[in-house]
A and B are shown apart, each in its own frame.
Chain A
Amino acid sequence: MFGAKTGRGLVALMFVASIAASACGGSSGGDKVIKIGGLATLSGPFAVPGQDGFRGVEQALAKYGKKLASGNWQMDGYQIQLIKEGSDATPAVALEKAKKLIEQDNVDILIGPLSGDEGLAVKDYAKTVPDKTFVNGSSAAQDTTFRDAAPNFFRFSTDGAQWMAGLGKYAFTTKGYKNVAIVAEDYSFPYTQVGGFMYEFCAAGGHVVQKNWVPLGTKDYSSVVSNLPTSGVDAIYVALGGSDAVNFFTQYNQAGGKAKFIGGSITVDQSVLSVTGSFKDQLAGTIAAGPTADSATNQEWLDYVKAYKAQFTDGLPFPGLFALSYYNETIGVLEGLKAVKGDLSNKEAAFMAALAKVSFDGPTGHVSLDANRQAISSNYVTEVQKGADGNLQNVVISKADNVDQTLGLGATSPFLAQPVSRDFPSCP
């Protein structure tokens, strides 16, 4: 141990060193620096998705620019500095971190957050800072853009209802599921997913006989499993994410349950499929829908996966839905910045106008924005199958392009008359 005097000397030395370091950092390169705040969940049930979301941001930055020694990315005529913040999937913490990024770190553009209720909270906050640009991360609640939209909030990823496009019809018509029970977490994102599934499934003539809304973060699902009907349902629609999905499937398996599954978009995401456990045998044959499909074969997707694997040796076997969403959002931002040559003057007005017009061909299909600054893009219906290497993966059944936020029903459809909720839509 060193004495008090040496200790103080050391602190002073470190202080001087840190000033020197920051001075050097500031003087490298003459370009102006645009600050982008990244917000994703790094603790709680969505920690893995959050890490993958940030990989998406970094992959997009690496595609458009070059990483400098200072950690910034060099673009054409300007630099981008990425400041990351982690939340825990609760709206309160997401809001606090968004405020920290905007007010303390003075970021020009915020990319995030990750989950549904967080997105609603950040959208409301966006209205109070109209001169900053907010771009979604992967949060997918319908009303982040559909009702009461914020003019400075942009979403280049599709929402949780769009992610269900094609699934309800496929479950009813091809799989022949007539009666379905639902297990989903009790917040805005699963409402949106269940709603999107039911738009098609109910319209086709199917029945949702039971809905179990469980509190987010429930770990012990044994009583939910007990509550599921043992006869009279053809399949169970499960919209749980991360470790919660793992727990549910394990307990359903341990309780001897035999029903087929229909998955939400994050239920059979890679972050769940890459866990080891005997529950996984039961997941084969699960149908689901979402904006990504591991086994897609279009060139943009193959290039994207190749770049992901090259850049992140510690990444997931395939970039998940969260990586893709954050990637597309960041591509949107970088395209917008390119259009205005990094000009964020006049309260970012020119940038926001350019951003609303951005459209590009992403890894899974064409992305463009509607009048609410919400993405219109592609969606897959998938089925979980065991790959040649033994890993479970999603195999593409069908793909729909240019899916809008109403799933083609039109904004005046009775299914869109109310916001999705625990009780709406309903077809018992």
Chain B
Amino acid sequence: MPKALVDFLTVLLNGVTLAALYFVVASGFTLIFGLMRTTNMAHGSLYMLGAYAGVSAYTATGNWLIALVAGFAVVVVVGVVIHLGLLSRMAGQDLRQALVTIGLSIIIADLLLAKYGGLTFQIEPPSVATGSVAIPFVVNGTYSAYRLFMIAVAAAVYGGLWLVLNRTRIGWYIRAGIDDRDMLSALGVNVSRVFLFVFALGAGLAGLSGVIGTTALSISPGEDGRYLLSSLVVVIVGGMGSLGGAVIGALIIGLSEQIGLFYAPTYSIFITFVIMAAVLAVRPQGLLGRPA
């Protein structure tokens, strides 16, 4: 195979695996927005909280799966507290909720800085996904097993969310709530409890993705802003509140970042935002979003 093609295929795979991470991070963000119309600006900090919780659990046990569960569980609990303590008191006031979450994001990030300091942490991949796998069409003929594993994780998250949304009673409520909150409430559904469930789940997904991202890359102060931004771009491109949109948005952003980094490194950050601006100009609601 010619080298240029091998290079290109490798970069595509890099883009898809990065997109898998971006999707898992953005899925919780878009879920919360879809139902609650709340832009959860603390999403990046919840990612970081999950990541550090995972680091602590991994240091204590040396088990990746326990770290993953810890990252998810800790942030679910924090999500429940945030929702009950703050957001549910200002239900329906989207702007106030967004502002409160900005404040929370700063507080959480600073508390984490105080506890963990500025050092960089990593989590070792689970034993099923260590080392590299032989793939004939990539550079060197091998590829990081963990990055392929991330695709499987993203697919599992997508599948799980799809099942919850489409095959369960709470999924009916959520989808109905996305269309018309007031009517759902009038039908006797306890909407605030549905909100609580969705917020906790979305927060938990942020925590889960924190552990996944820390294993693939690393965690250090400042990562919160990066992942909040990537989530925002992914859901803006894909369409706020749409799971399929998040998949497409993550793919576009992941691929454009990696292709940019390979072929035009100086402009790789720029390319991402050109795509976002172009999508906003042509389809302000995002590729799969519905007009507000």
Contact = CB atoms under 8 A, between A and B. Distances in A.
Interface stretch (B9-17, B69-77, B176-184, B190-198): B9-17
B139 A45 contact: no
Nearest to B266: A186
B144 A215 contact: no
A246 interface: yes
A214 interface: yes
B132 interface: yes
Interface string A150-188: 000000000000000000000000000000000000100
Of residues B7, B17, B218, which shows the largest number of chain A Cβ atoms within 10 Å of its Cβ? B218
Contacts of B138: 226
A226 B11 contact: yes
Contact of A88 (B15, B18, B140, B222): B222
Of residues A220, A224, A255, A274, which shows the largest number of chain B Cβ atoms within 10 Å of its Cβ? A220
Interface stretch (B26-34, B37-45, B257-265): B257-265
Contact of A226 (B131, B216, B262, B265): B262
Given A242-B120, A246-B120, A219 B217 contact: yes
Contacts of A257: 140
Interface residues of B, number: 42
A222 B132 contact: no
Given A88-B222, A255-B143, A276-B122, A223 B258 contact: yes
Contacts of A246: 120, 122, 218
A44 B222 contact: yes
Contact of A213 (B113, B140, B262, B265): B265
B217 A247 contact: yes
Nearest to B7: A226
A243 B218 contact: yes
A158 B29 CA distance: 46
B195 to A, nearest CB: 25
Contacts of A359: none
Contact of A220 (B10, B131, B145, B217): B217
A222 B222 contact: no
A264 interface: no
Given A215-B266, A250-B218, A230 B140 contact: yes
18 contacts: A42-B118, A43-B113, A47-B113, A48-B119, A214-B261, A214-B265, A219-B218, A223-B11, A223-B259, A223-B261, A226-B139, A227-B7, A242-B120, A254-B132, A254-B146, A255-B132, A255-B143, A275-B120
